[in-house]
Amino acid sequence: MEYTTIFHRSPVLLATVVAVLFLTPGNTRGAPGDLDSTFGTSGKVTTDFSGQVELGNASAVQSDGRIVVAGFTRAGSDQNTEDFALARYNVDGSLDSNFGTGGRVKAGFSGTADRANAVAIQSDGKIIAAGSSEGRN
């Protein structure tokens, strides 16, 4: 299986997740690489964390098809306000309301610029996010 994820900087966007038709073997609704119109809105999903800047850096697909996107959200114009941000989407592109608060998780650490740069799903289904946290001066 192959997945395509597009990330975009926007005040109302953690990540634009794009599902392609070849996610499901035998799917004949379109050619490989076409957007799956049954995913989100015309094959695209955006998620607002209420930050000024939000960016998705990595994604992983769980065994049940749900998609986890990891990145960061910045509350203001200063990178000192950045926190890890994760969102989990159902197979139809809707946020998974059983994940965090309304499908979103935000976590700050002791640093000033906390960014999730990778995400993985363990065999037991637990989500691992890794990234960086710059120290305070």
The pLDDT, as a whole number, for residue 12 is 35
Handedness of CA 82, 6, 118, 20 (dihedral sign): positive
Strand partners, 69: 59, 87
Query: How confident is the prediction for the chain on average, in pLDDT?
Result: 79
pTM for the model: 0.74
- For the residues 11-32, what does the mean pLDDT come to? 46
Give the chain's domain count.
1
- With a cut of 60, say whether residue 62 has pLDDT above it: yes
> Which residues fall within 8 angstroms of residue 58, CB to CB, at 6 or more apart?
69, 70, 71, 116, 117, 118, 119
- Separation between Cα atoms, residue 61 and residue 50, nearest integer Å: 25
Structural domain boundaries enclosing 45: 4-133
- For the residues 16-28, what does the mean pLDDT come to? 41
- With a cut of 90, say whether residue 30 has pLDDT above it: no
